[in-house]
């Protein structure tokens, strides 16, 4: 077994099996026999202990160099390495962690790791949790993102808004886009998970040409605006199909693109589908897709 030399730029406690030693700033320690090596930073906020694995050559908390039959391990202060902030949460005696850097967010539990890369930097970042849902709120001018991570299911959901307000047990996403002066969706978390509590839509009073009706319909589907969905459909459709039938037909839409004013490509839990709309008298009278 190769011996290990640990160098630290900050004060920490090194534990190895049944022994332990406190190191001051810029001190080092040599270990000849070891199985597990634990590092406990001292006096550093938003940091937690970690384990040194000599086989992990790309760890963000230390760097390993092999020299003269030794492992030279250099602990890296997070302030100098990507400025990583670490937040610890606990629910029902189960610990979870959220690591935030300028480039990514990592959610960690005993069983799972979920890493999300950030498209660009944000002016303000806030971390917290609702029960077993950990969240990160990223804020820029007129553009916010909230990432909600379920520590039980290892599923992360993203919410985008011009403004996102966080409350004790939930949050509100506020937008004003396209056909709406405002769209407000309020979410809350209970013992079962994240749920939609309330939604409010304020339509713009602007008149839009008939050619935009399929686009308006798809936008209403994506935002779950039941009133607009029903109002844009002809009686020949609504007399045969319920609102739930229509929404189940399209599925949960993640993205759509209008190929032309009557043809739309959509990504949803139904798959990748192209829809064609027939419009008469400002109502959708027929909908076809390429799966038939």
Instruction: Examine residue 81 and state whether it is found in any structural domain, yes or no.
Output: no
Question: Which of 93, 208, 198 shows the shortest CA–CA distance to 151?
Answer: 93
Instruction: Examine residue 11 and state whether it is found in any structural domain, yes or no.
Output: yes
The most confident of 57-66, 71-80, 160-169, 236-245, by mean pLDDT: 236-245
Separation of alpha carbons 167 and 93, rounded Å: 23
User: Is the predicted pLDDT of residue 40 greater than 90, yes or no?
Assistant: no
Instruction: Say yes or no: 32 and 60 in one domain.
Output: yes
Domain tally, the chain = 3
Helix (H) or strand (E) holding 215: helix 213-223
User: Is the predicted pLDDT of residue 57 greater than 60, yes or no?
Assistant: yes
Instruction: Say yes or no: 121 and 195 in one domain.
Output: yes
Which residue among 203, 232, 249 closes a domain?
Answer: 203
Instruction: Examine residue 103 and state whether it is found in any structural domain, yes or no.
Output: no
Instruction: Examine residue 277 and state whether it is found in any structural domain, yes or no.
Output: yes
pLDDT of residue 50: 81
Q: The pTM is what?
A: 0.56
User: Is the predicted pLDDT of residue 166 greater than 70, yes or no?
Assistant: yes
pLDDT of residue 277: 95
Instruction: Say yes or no: 48 and 11 in one domain.
Output: yes
- pLDDT tens digits, 207-217: 667 788 899 89
Instruction: Examine residue 87 and state whether it is found in any structural domain, yes or no.
Output: no
Which residue among 22, 54, 75 closes a domain?
Answer: 75
Which residue among 203, 226, 259 closes a domain?
Answer: 203
Instruction: Examine residue 170 and state whether it is found in any structural domain, yes or no.
Output: yes
pLDDT of residue 79: 44
Instruction: Say yes or no: 169 and 117 in one domain.
Output: yes
Separation of alpha carbons 62 and 77, rounded Å: 8
Instruction: Say yes or no: 220 and 251 in one domain.
Output: yes
Instruction: Say yes or no: 176 and 125 in one domain.
Output: yes
Instruction: Examine residue 118 and state whether it is found in any structural domain, yes or no.
Output: yes
- Quote the percentage of the chain above a pLDDT of 70: 93
pLDDT of residue 205: 67
Instruction: Say yes or no: 44 and 16 in one domain.
Output: yes
Please compute the mean of the pLDDT values over residues 114-143 and round it to a whole number.
87
Question: Which of 133, 162, 163, 160 shows the shortest CA–CA distance to 149?
Answer: 133
Please compute the mean of the pLDDT values over residues 244-257 and round it to a whole number.
91
Instruction: Examine residue 279 and state whether it is found in any structural domain, yes or no.
Output: yes
Query: In this structure, what token pair is assigned to residue 36?
Result: 């597990």
Q: Is 269 exposed, middle or buried (0-12, 13-18, 19+ CB in 10 A)?
A: exposed
Domain with residue 245: its CATH number is 3.10.450.590
Instruction: Say yes or no: 116 and 184 in one domain.
Output: yes
β-pairing, 170-175 with 180-190?
antiparallel
Rg of the chain taking only CA atoms, in angstroms: 26
| 217 three-class SS | helix
Instruction: Say yes or no: 8 and 67 in one domain.
Output: yes
| 30 three-class SS | strand
Please compute the mean of the pLDDT values over residues 55-61 and round it to a whole number.
77
Separation of alpha carbons 9 and 36, rounded Å: 21
Separation of alpha carbons 106 and 98, rounded Å: 6
Please compute the mean of the pLDDT values over residues 180-206 and round it to a whole number.
83
| 277 three-class SS | strand
In the 8-state DSSP scheme, what is residue 24?
A: -
Instruction: Say yes or no: 168 and 215 in one domain.
Output: no
Helix (H) or strand (E) holding 280: strand 271-280
Helix (H) or strand (E) holding 182: strand 180-190
Q: Which domain holds residue 231?
A: 210-289
């Amino acid at each position: 077994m190769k011996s290990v030399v640990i160098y630290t730029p900050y004060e920490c406690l090194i534990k190895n099996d049944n022994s332990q030693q406190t190191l001051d700033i810029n001190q080092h320690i040599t270990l000849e026999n070891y199985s597990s090596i634990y590092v406990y930073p001292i006096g550093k906020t938003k940091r937690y202990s970690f384990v040194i694995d000599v086989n992990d050559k790309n760890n963000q908390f230390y760097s390993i160099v092999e020299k003269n039959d030794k492992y030279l391990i250099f602990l890296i202060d997070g302030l100098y390495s990507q400025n990583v902030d670490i937040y610890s949460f606990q629910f029902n005696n189960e610990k979870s962690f959220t690591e935030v850097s300028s480039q990514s967010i990592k959610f960690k539990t005993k069983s799972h790791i979920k890493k999300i890369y950030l498209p660009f930097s944000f002016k303000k970042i806030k971390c917290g949790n609702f029960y077993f849902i950990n969240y990160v709120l990223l804020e820029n001018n007129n553009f916010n993102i909230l990432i909600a991570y379920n520590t039980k299911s290892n599923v992360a959901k993203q919410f985008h808004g011009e403004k996102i307000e966080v409350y004790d047990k939930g949050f509100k996403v506020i937008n004003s886009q396209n056909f709406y002066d405002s769209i407000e969706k309020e979410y809350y978390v209970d013992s079962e998970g994240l749920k939609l509590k309330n939604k409010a839509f304020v339509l713009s009073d602007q008149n839009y040409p008939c050619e935009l009706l399929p686009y308006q319909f798809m936008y209403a589907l994506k935002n779950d605006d039941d009133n607009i969905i029903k109002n844009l459909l002809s009686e020949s459709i609504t007399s045969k199909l319920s609102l739930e039938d229509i929404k189940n037909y399209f599925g949960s839409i993640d993205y759509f693109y209008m190929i032309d004013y009557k043809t739309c490509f959509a990504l949803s839990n139904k798959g990748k589908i192209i829809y064609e709309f027939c419009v008469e008298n400002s109502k959708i009278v027929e909908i076809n897709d390429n799966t038939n």
